[in-house]
Amino acid sequence: MKFGDNLKKIRKMRKISQEELADKLGVSRQSVSKWETGENYPSMTNIMCLCTIFKCNINELVHEDMDDINSLDEEIKMSVVKFKSEKQKKVRVLSTIIADIAKVGWIISIVLVCFVAIGTILLPIALKDIEIKDNKIVSDGKIVEIIEEKDKLVLKHKNEVLADVRDQKSISLIKEVINGNLNNKGLLIGCCEVALITMIVCLILAVFMFKKLEKLFNNIKKGDTPFTLENVEYIKKIAYIMIALIILPNIGGTIFEIILKQDLDISFEPFSILEVLIIFVISYIFEYGYEIQLDSKGKMYGDIK
């Protein structure tokens, strides 16, 4: 079966007249007629636009086993070869891997949201009998000692090390608790609740980010081109979520500073900001790729309007 026969068959299956198809493509009805009779062949841009209109893949138009590829002109043959090239396969394999990782990411994030939410609810109950004094945490008869060793704080129970803290911000916060600034249980619970709620919000944002990432790379894997407006929107939304993920922990840290009345040196990380800028640059590259796919009539092969 030749290209023209395929085109005519699919057009009739979709119940689209030659005039309607020509209008969607921005060409004359005579051009569509010549494509179907084999007198002429459309450009690769119009072939891709036909795929979008008919919601089919390129193979369904040029032939499933590519037996009639020689009936097409050189421009179309080269484009078909590129479409079936090894590079395209590698992009799709990589896209599949990233999409799968993103799917695992949002599933894990949802599970973590549930666990942290449960912790947020149970925390006031768990801390109601706790006491912090004289470098010791006492709860239900159990005593955990807080010992300062050089550049770290060590938590010990019956001389057994439970944990050690080396981060200076965390050490400063623990010292404030020990010195009594947070020995008020209400404030202590409040600080912990703020931390947990901030974590929940960040995890929820992570769920949305991973979902957008999964959709983006599924689109790249399944589509004929990555340069679509839908993909541009996904990339921009990922960048916006990343900005929120940078800002939120700093907001939580600022609340701690207000409660403790102490500067914990909360600041934005320049590298994190650079990461977001890189994502935005990628979105503009995709947008540019979309625009250069316009043909001489200003029609985009992915645009059926």
**What is the domain partition of the chain in residue ranges?**
3-84, 87-291
Strand order in the sheet with 152-157: 131-133, 136-139, 142-149, 152-157, 160-165
Superfamily of domain 3-84: lambda repressor-like DNA-binding domains (1.10.260.40)
Q: Tell me the per-residue pLDDT of 231-286, one tens digit each, with 9 for 90 and over.
A: 888 998 998 898 888 888 878 777 766 766 666 566 656 667 777 788 878 887 77
Mean pLDDT on 11-20 = 88
Is residue 297 very low, low, confident or very high in pLDDT (cuts 50, 70, 90)? very low
Pairing of strands 160-165, 152-157: antiparallel
Lowest mean pLDDT among 13-17, 113-117, 202-206, 285-289: 285-289
Residue whose structure tokens are 């590129």: 82
Query: 90 pLDDT exceeds 90?
Result: no
- CA–CA distances in Å: residue 234 to residues 114, 217, 239: 26, 10, 9
Which pLDDT score, from 0 to 100, does residue 4 have?
Answer: 82
| Token output for 141 | 């008869």
Residues ≥6 apart with Cβ < 8 Å to 67:
none
| Token output for 262 | 């102490």
Which pLDDT score, from 0 to 100, does residue 295 have?
Answer: 45
| pLDDT, the chain, mean | 76
The whole-angstrom separation of Cα 201 and Cα 102 is: 18
Q: Tell me the per-residue pLDDT of 173-211, one tens digit each, with 9 for 90 and over.
A: 666 666 655 556 677 677 778 888 989 999 999 999 999
Residue whose structure tokens are 């993103």: 102
The whole-angstrom separation of Cα 161 and Cα 147 is: 10
The one-letter amino acid code at 274 reads: L
| Token output for 66 | 């590519």
Residues ≥6 apart with Cβ < 8 Å to 181:
187, 260, 261, 262
- Give me the sign of the Cα torsion angle 56, 59, 63, 69: positive
Q: Tell me the per-residue pLDDT of 203-236, one tens digit each, with 9 for 90 and over.
A: 999 999 999 999 999 988 887 677 777 888 899 8
Percent of the chain at pLDDT > 70 equals 65
